[in-house]
Amino acid sequence: MAMRQATKAAIRACVSSSSSGYFARRQFNASSGDSKKIVGVFYKANEYATKNPNFLGCVENALGIRDWLESQGHQYIVTDDKEGPDCELEKHIPDLHVLISTPFHPAYVTAERIKKAKNLKLLLTAGIGSDHIDLQAAAAAGLTVAEVTGSNVVSVAEDELMRILILMRNFVPGYNQVVKGEWNVAGIAYRAYDLEGKTIGTVGAGRIGKLLLQRLKPFGCNLLYHDRLQMAPELEKEIGAKFVEDLNEMLPKCDVVVINMPLTEKTRGMFNKELIGKLKKGVLIVNNARGAIMDRQAVVEAVESGHIGGYSGDVWDPQPAPKDHPWRYMPNQAMTPHTSGTTIDAQLRYAAGTKDMLERYFKGEDFPAQNYIVKDGELAPQYR
């Protein structure tokens, strides 16, 4: 515990501190008059903003970088108002230089907005996943798009494991019984199962997928994965996972399917009625990747028919999800708002990572290679 607290203190120091000698060497020095307009779009915390000093990912606390940016002579505008022609974000599109957003309350950067943003140079995602940006349009316009790679992979993998157990044990109906003052063991137990011995397949085995498989190993499951790249043999052996090159071969074998791939033009709507029809009847699905990977109505129909035995995730299309979104009301679901990657620990990491990239940008330095999503007109491999 002492080591964990020391680590968090170090991260906080990275976010909040600055050295005058260090910043004197920046390419964009405030004293030179090269002030930048930076806009951040985050969710509003309201009364929760002051309840935790490390709650950095909200409008009110603005990643903890306001004082630093303004001390360097930059303008920092922060808002949660991001939709429609009269929103606060739209007012700043024509003259902003840097736009920071998160996957949890994404600022949708369309080709139209990019065309209007004459001064825009840099799009940063505080977190992981930059599909809220029209990446082709960004590449064509010569913009740089980057994210804080690795900042919340542990957070998301842990959340996925939790959701698997919630669905497997039929937890939500039990919780609802308690809240309503009811007691009906049969209403829960008739569709509650052990995780041991079940076949779990992840569609995508990048950083999050690998961490999930590692965490599932002690449960004694049969672990499968499908990905564009196969793991090294020694890692496969260590995790105990088997590579399945053909997705259509893997899906019918799975008791649980976990979605762990980015949203691209190829994966948008990928889980449609036809592909869902290939899944085992009663399959459980966990999707913390992106809502638009699923065909919305096909999921609803499959859950209502029982072909999908349970569906859980924190990603929707669009976000925030409208009140009439059908996933809110389908049976056997354990949906939440998009929270898996915005734990306090993750916020400390992606706030520090965002500050680090801004420092590098002001100095004209490259970012860590793995952070680039668009650079010099080229998309990262996972988005091609």
222 assigned to a ligand binding site: no
384 assigned to a ligand binding site: no
288 assigned to a ligand binding site: yes
Q: Is 319 an active-site residue?
A: yes
- φ and ψ of 2, to 5 deg: -60, -40
Q: Is 119 an active-site residue?
A: no
Contacts of 168 (CB under 8 A, 6+ apart): 192, 193, 194, 195, 198, 256, 284
* Beta-bridge partners for 122: 98, 144
Q: Is 215 an active-site residue?
A: no
100 assigned to a ligand binding site: no
152 assigned to a ligand binding site: yes
338 assigned to a ligand binding site: yes
Nearest to 357 by CA among 5, 105, 38: 38
Catalytic, out of 26, 92, 113, 152: 152
Distance CA 187, CA 267 (A): 37
- For CA atoms 193, 196, 199, 204, the dihedral sign is positive
Catalytic, out of 290, 332, 349, 371: 290
What the block records as the tokens of 64 is 């903890």
Contact 104, 43 (CB under 8 A): yes
295 assigned to a ligand binding site: no
143 assigned to a ligand binding site: no
248 assigned to a ligand binding site: no
207 assigned to a ligand binding site: yes
Strands 283-287 and 308-313: parallel
324 assigned to a ligand binding site: no
Element containing residue 76 per DSSP (H, E): strand 75-79
Catalytic, out of 97, 163, 226, 338: 338
Catalytic, out of 319, 333, 347, 371: 319
Residue ranges of the binding site: 128, 152, 207-208, 227, 262-266, 288, 314, 338-341
- Residues carrying an active site annotation: 152, 290, 319, 338
Residue numbers belonging to the annotated binding site for substrate: 128, 152
Which residues are annotated as part of the binding site for NAD(+)? 207-208, 227, 262-266, 288, 314, 338-341
